Amino acid sequence: MKISERVQMMQASPIRKLMPYANSAKEKGIHVYHLNIGQPDIETPKEMIDVYHNFSEKVLAYGPSQGLECYRENLVKYYAGHNIKLATSDIIVTTAGSEAIVFALTAVCNVGDEVLIPEPFYTNYNGFADMAGVHIKPIPTKVENGFALPEKEEIVKLLTSKTRAIMICNPGNPTGKVYSKEEVEMVASIAKEHDIFVISDEVYREFVYDGYEATSILHIPGIEDRAVMVDSVSKRYSACGARIGCIVSLNKELMAAVLKLGQARLCPPTIDQLAASACVNLPQSYFEKVNVEYKKRRDLVFNELEKIEGIVCRKPEGAFYIVAKLPVPDAEEFVIWLLNDYHVENATVMVAPAAGFYATKGAGLSEVRFAYILNENDLKKAMFIFRTGLKKFREIKGF
Amino acid sequence: MKISERVQMMQASPIRKLMPYANSAKEKGIHVYHLNIGQPDIETPKEMIDVYHNFSEKVLAYGPSQGLECYRENLVKYYAGHNIKLATSDIIVTTAGSEAIVFALTAVCNVGDEVLIPEPFYTNYNGFADMAGVHIKPIPTKVENGFALPEKEEIVKLLTSKTRAIMICNPGNPTGKVYSKEEVEMVASIAKEHDIFVISDEVYREFVYDGYEATSILHIPGIEDRAVMVDSVSKRYSACGARIGCIVSLNKELMAAVLKLGQARLCPPTIDQLAASACVNLPQSYFEKVNVEYKKRRDLVFNELEKIEGIVCRKPEGAFYIVAKLPVPDAEEFVIWLLNDYHVENATVMVAPAAGFYATKGAGLSEVRFAYILNENDLKKAMFIFRTGLKKFREIKGF
């Protein structure tokens, strides 16, 4: 029985596809430091876990398709704290940011339409686009200048009659790039001038360092009818397993369309919404503490990378990722070699080859993404293995 | 800003669209007995709620895209108890049955392909089909003969070069029909002879009465490569808010495709999977007790309906729905009238007009669906209101 061509053509997750190598290392008793996935090790807030512990309804019932009213009211408060003024009707709760992106693409694009996205981009965007029947057209950015957006006219050149939106991820996964206000305004001006939507993935809003600030697409005046923000509590509260996100827009017609999509799948998980809702009252000091920790880790990884001759890497301003260009022709080969053939004190390290984050064929082949989601001590060991492993690999290969 | 045509063309949920009338009745202080939605009132098992209460991980982390291994192992045991022999690799956990159906349609069909579904069918199938870009072609069935499948040649006539699957819901929502083994075998034989898939939605497996048994598509030998089963714990454990389902197939290529779709959205909710997993060990007596309750309710509703002159209705064998054809030309008008203009002791009743469950234009206009999901006492009152209301409505309208 033949399955559909559209699914045959989908790429398998480049983040997860090397897992068999990691598993085989583990079977040999080797510890693997996982810097390849964005699963934070930070503890989920007690306020959130308490909600699961205290659930007292007799029936675990459906909630409304747009999300629980009490949670949406709390989200209004949360966004107000970020200078984003909303009504509950501007917010639809989704099953994680993943569903928010699929809904956004489906509501904005017909099958075969195009969306511009700066590359490298979060690799799962490919899967979402495939599910929505949408083509991603990459806006090239480069590690050499810290993945800054190109000039406006370079982006405008990429527009076609099929382009329906520009999508950005800010702060960026996998780049760690935090776009300046001017960059976000430039994207907004293109959307306005060329009558397309802007979809902004802002799930790393809180993770910005060195005094940088994340500009929301909803901070930009004059594009209220074309701005769509997608969000998630996965990273914010270290609650990836809760699968709670949302989609936000002031465009009433768009939100009515998203509600139709939402009604088709009935509702997001009920208790997980209540749990996410409890986090809205977390004090700012919670994020400050988390950020101190992540900043330390970023500096550690970046400083270790700087010691490596021939590496290209700029210090990122946000999220918890760093992309580096290695002095090897094929970073995936090196990643597999680390798992198969290199260990220090019975441990090795896994990072994500970055080619899977590029839509342009052949781009990013020498690059890898580090997710700095381990404690300082483990990170130190992991980076030592990475650095010495790279040296050894190059000696063996003669690069 | 124009949204996509495909979403503009989607119908709003016919189950939920009359909610404003119910809300306005409630604002006037009138109690509304909701027989319009499939939200059971049965208590969620304590074994399930205990899992939320006892969650002790420090980090609420992502699970695997295919679902937690421990849960899939428990599902293997659960299905073995229903004479369905599976390996964990035959099962992928989904975010409710909704996602399982979208994944099944996406993996089996390209955009523009067709799926045959007996009508009336669960109205949200329309939304899933729209999301997957698939056309539903209805197989007509009738209240007059209890929604039995038509003869094989009638179904075969509906096949075209674009037909990729027959989808059935067994036991059926909204019909309550439990297909005989011969009916399921007939569907399987069509799939085999015409080289298409069978997708079987079996979320009401446990809800069968009078000694009937639900035949799984996975019980039929010789179609292992083309049988796809979708399932959910929503109704089984009265846990609609957990959003845990699964997709099951022995077709390895199909399951690899579904895993790609699953990887794109990362994973289903973590704690909810653990909660569902705990239910696998519920004793058979749990379902027996629940079924005694539902059977009583079905008999109550059916007996009340039989008292109504001019009504057409057959006693259904399963699920918790009854479809009845009323002696009125437009059942929706009557449903709205009940909410707006008829109450007994300050209470009224809401049922779902059945036209929304038909794909054929003009079909089912006189029909309504009852979900018997209230306790006996409330059901009695609700049915009294319905019966006397219908009499009054016909007098007023002169039908």
A57 vs B contacts (CB less than 8 Å): 44
Closest chain A residue to B254, measured at CA = A3
CB pairs under 8 A between A and B: 242
What is the reported pLDDT for A22? 95
B89: Cα within 13 Å, side-chain hemisphere: 7
pLDDT tens for B90-104 read: 999 999 999 999 999
CATH 3.40.640.10 domain residues, chain A:
46-281
A49 vs B contacts (CB less than 8 Å): 55, 60
Averaged pLDDT for residues B22-26: 95
What is the reported pLDDT for B318? 97
Answer yes or no: do A52 and B49 touch at CB < 8 A. no
Asked if pLDDT for residue A373 goes beyond 90, the answer is yes
Distance in Å, alpha carbon of B57 to nearest chain A alpha carbon = 9
Averaged pLDDT for residues A370-387: 96
Distance in Å, alpha carbon of A82 to nearest chain B alpha carbon = 25
Q: Dihedral, CA atoms, B325, B329, B334, B336, nearest 10 degrees?
A: 120
Distance in Å, alpha carbon of B257 to nearest chain A alpha carbon = 6
Phi, psi of A197 (to 5 degrees): -85, 160
- DSSP alpha helices (H): ranges in chain A? 5-8, 19-27, 46-53, 69-80, 96-108, 124-132, 152-156, 181-193, 252-264, 270-278, 284-306, 331-341, 376-397
> Is-contact A47 B60, C-beta < 8 A?
no
What is the reported pLDDT for B265? 92
B252 vs A contacts (CB less than 8 Å): none
pLDDT category at A37 given cuts 50, 70, 90 is confident
Answer yes or no: do A60 and B242 touch at CB < 8 A. yes
Report the predicted TM-score, pTM, of the whole model to 2 decimal places.
Answer: 0.95
Arithmetic mean of pLDDT over chain B: 96
pLDDT tens for B32-65 read: 999 998 889 999 999 999 999 999 999 999 999 9
pLDDT above 90 as % of chain A: 94
Q: Could you tell me the fold of the domain covering B5-43+285-397?
A: Aspartate Aminotransferase, domain 1 (3.90.1150)
Distance in Å, alpha carbon of A248 to nearest chain B alpha carbon = 15
Other C-beta atoms closer than 10 Å to the C-beta of B60 total 26
Residue B199 identity (one-letter amino acid): I
Instruction: Lowest mean pLDDT of A16-25, B61-70, B155-164, name the range.
Output: A16-25
pLDDT tens for B267-306 read: 999 999 999 999 998 998 999 999 999 999 999 999 999 9
- Choose among A39, A49, A57: nearest Cβ to B55: A49
Task: Report the candidate in A138, A165, A168 with the shortest Cα–Cα distance to residue A154.
Answer: A138
pLDDT category at B13 given cuts 50, 70, 90 is confident
What is the reported pLDDT for A258? 96
A253 vs B contacts (CB less than 8 Å): 1, 3
Non-local CB neighbours of A325 within 8 Å, separated by 6+ positions:
A143, A311, A312, A313, A366, A367
What is the reported pLDDT for B11? 81
Q: Dihedral, CA atoms, A319, A320, A326, A332, nearest 10 degrees?
A: -110
Residue B260 identity (one-letter amino acid): K
Measure the CA–CA gap between A2 and B107, rounded to whole angstroms.
Answer: 10
pLDDT tens for A308-322 read: 999 999 999 999 999
Measure the CA–CA gap between A166 and A262, rounded to whole angstroms.
Answer: 23
CATH classification of A46-281 is 3.40.640.10, yes or no? yes
Q: In this structure, what DSSP letter does residue A142 have?
A: -
Task: Report the candidate in B167, B4, B112, B133 with the shortest Cα–Cα distance to residue A113.
Answer: B4
> Is-contact B376 B300, C-beta < 8 A?
yes
CATH 3.90.1150.10 domain residues, chain B:
5-43+285-397
Task: Report the candidate in A177, A214, A201 with the shortest Cα–Cα distance to residue A317.
Answer: A177
Asked if pLDDT for residue A392 goes beyond 90, the answer is yes
pLDDT category at B221 given cuts 50, 70, 90 is very high
Other C-beta atoms closer than 10 Å to the C-beta of B124 total 19
Answer yes or no: do B110 and A37 touch at CB < 8 A. no
Asked if pLDDT for residue A341 goes beyond 90, the answer is yes
What is the reported pLDDT for B164? 98
In this prediction the ipTM stands at 0.94
Helix (H) or strand (E) holding B353, with range, is strand B352-353
Closest chain A residue to B61, measured at CA = A241
Answer yes or no: do B241 and A62 touch at CB < 8 A. yes
Concatenated DSSP letters for A354-393? GGGG-SSTTTTTTEEEEE--S-HHHHHHHHHHHHHHHHHH
Answer yes or no: do B60 and A44 touch at CB < 8 A. yes
Q: How far is CA B375 from CA A395, B378, B382, in A?
A: 76, 6, 10
Q: How far is CA B236 from CA B26, B232, B294, in A?
A: 30, 7, 12
What is the reported pLDDT for A11? 81
Asked if pLDDT for residue B334 goes beyond 80, the answer is yes
